[in-house]
Structure 1
Amino acid sequence: MKSIAAQDRRRLFETFKREALHLEMRDFYDTGDLEKVERWKTGEPDDLEWLKPWCSRVQKDVAKGKRYRRACVVSEPLTEYQMWAYSITQPNLDAGEDIRWVPRRLVSTIPLPGNDFWLFDDDAVVFGIFGGDGNVVERQLFTEPEVVQFCRNAFEAAWAVSIQHHDYQPVRQ
């Protein structure tokens, strides 16, 4: 295991060749989105300009034959944060990212790692370590085959019970 900086993780997005998998398991993140969530709660429109760099990256990579899959394990009823995240997912889908929702009740018997991760080409896993306040406090890079395989298995098991974005009916509070 090696702690890495954000730019090191960004480099993995530039160099992966086939597939980037993302398993999200938190109901709340504070990655600069809280102001957006507050505006969403009041009904203020968002032009989603801030999403364009990510969507552009995904679109370019998908055009090269790469895949992006994201499984979002969520508690139901959804938190306000997850309701907001669900409401802004369409641009990601339009860019080519396959995003699915996994009600937490469906993963009770699935061995999952303790933290969210990105898995790149079955070569490297980057775990995002979050503090209680929802901010990233560390990024851990693993290349050990057993860790990579554990994460692949966990992702695929969650994916197998996931619900496509357009079929998922968010349970509201």
Structure 2
Amino acid sequence: MLLYIAIFALLSVSLLSSCAKDDGKAKELPLLKHNYSKSKHTASQVFGFDYATTPKGIYNVVNKEPTKFTVNVYIADNEGCKFTYTKDKDGDHEEDFTKTQSFTAYLSGRNELLKLQCKGEQSNIDYKIVAYANGAEYDNIGNLSYLVESGNI
């Protein structure tokens, strides 16, 4: 009898785990461009999708129904850096932040989801971005430092 219960339990667990299969793989949120200016002591990065490789069903604010992204940005060791994102469907309002934040964002008309700018010679930031849209997860983990970007380190 105990053998039958063990077999039943094993089959039940096996069946449930196969039904709840989730590959758990997030896609990378692409870094579209990065830049620095020695004269202005700034470094920047832009995250989003290039037009040719934008995932199916993802639309920017120029489209009639832009895609809503739920975004979580985790920030550590921020010195002189800020993120900017498009806050509304019309693309009219942008919002800046410097600390860990969760928000709704839309792709700008240039398919940009987030812009990161660091200003000052000692500016630097460590971050993790997790964005959700249409049932998919897009992640990016990294850092930005003016000194590293400019080659002064």
The normalised TM-score by structure 2 is: 0.31
| Structure with more of its chain in helix, by fraction | 1
| Structure with more of its chain in strand, by fraction | 2
